[in-house]
A and B are shown apart, each in its own frame.
Chain A
Amino acid sequence: MKVRFWGTRGSLPTPLTAEDVGRKLAAAAERLAAGCAVADLPFHLRATYGGNTSCVQVDTPAGGRLMLDAGTGLRDYGHWLAGQGADAPRDHHILLSHTHWDHIMGLPFFGPVYHEGQTITFYGCHPSLRERLAAQWEPSHFPVRFDRLSATMKFVQLKHGQTVDIEGAAVTPLAQRHPGASYGYRIEHGGRSAVYSTDSEQKGMHDHRTQAFIAFCRGADLLIFDAMYSFVDACTDKEDWGHSSNLTGIEIAKRAGVKRLYLFHHDPMLDDERLDEVVSDSRLYAGHYRPDVPLEVAMAYDGLEVSV
Chain B
Amino acid sequence: MITMDERRHGPVIVLQLDGSLDSRNAPALEARLGALAAGGGAGLVLDLTGVAYVSGACLRVLLLAGKRLDGAGRRLAVCCARAEVLDILRISGLTRVIGVYPDRAGALADMGGGGDPA
Contact = CB atoms under 8 A, between A and B. Distances in A.
B96 A285 contact: no
B104 interface: no
B55 A289 contact: yes
A235 B93 CA distance: 10
Interface stretch (A62-70, A168-176, A225-233): A225-233
B96 A232 contact: yes
B63 A236 contact: yes
Contacts of B59: 231-232, 247
A230 B87 contact: no
Nearest to B55: A289
Given A288-B84, A288-B87, A231 B53 contact: no
A211 B24 CA distance: 15
**Interface residue range, chain B:** 10 to 19
B57 A205 contact: yes
Contacts of B56: 204-205, 231, 247-248, 251
Q: Which of A232, A236, A251, A285 has the most CB of B within 10 A?
A: A232
Interface in A243-289: 245-248, 251, 281-282, 284-285, 288-289
Contacts of A230: 91-93
Nearest to B91: A281
B contact face: mostly helix, strand, loop, or mixed: helix
B4 interface: no
Contact of B93 (A232, A284, A288, A289): A232
B84 A232 contact: no
Contacts of A232: 59, 63, 92-94, 96-97
A61 B97 CA distance: 48
Interface in B85-118: 87-88, 90-94, 96-97
Contacts of B23: 205-206
Contact of A284 (B57, B91, B94): B91
Contacts of A281: 87, 90-91
Nearest to A284: B87
A245 B55 CA distance: 13
Contacts, number: 53
A235 B63 contact: yes
Contacts of A282: 91
Most buried by A among B57, B84, B90, B92: B92
B60 interface: yes
A198 B30 CA distance: 30
Contacts of B93: 230-233
Contacts of B8: none
A245 B56 CA distance: 10
A251 B59 CA distance: 13
A100 to B, nearest CB: 25
A263 B56 CA distance: 17
B67 interface: yes
Contacts of B94: 231-232
Contacts of B67: 236
Contacts of B91: 230-231, 246-247, 281-282, 284-285
B82 to A, nearest CB: 11
Kindly list the 10 A-B residue pairs having the minimum CB-CB distance in the complex, ordered from nearest: A232-B93, A230-B93, A231-B92, A281-B91, A247-B56, A251-B56, A285-B91, A205-B23, A235-B63, A232-B94
Interface of B: 23, 53, 55-57, 59-60, 63, 67, 84, 87-88, 90-94, 96-97
Given A206-B57, A235-B60, 12 more contacts: A204-B57, A230-B91, A232-B63, A232-B96, A247-B59, A247-B92, A248-B56, A251-B55, A284-B91, A285-B88, A285-B91, A288-B84
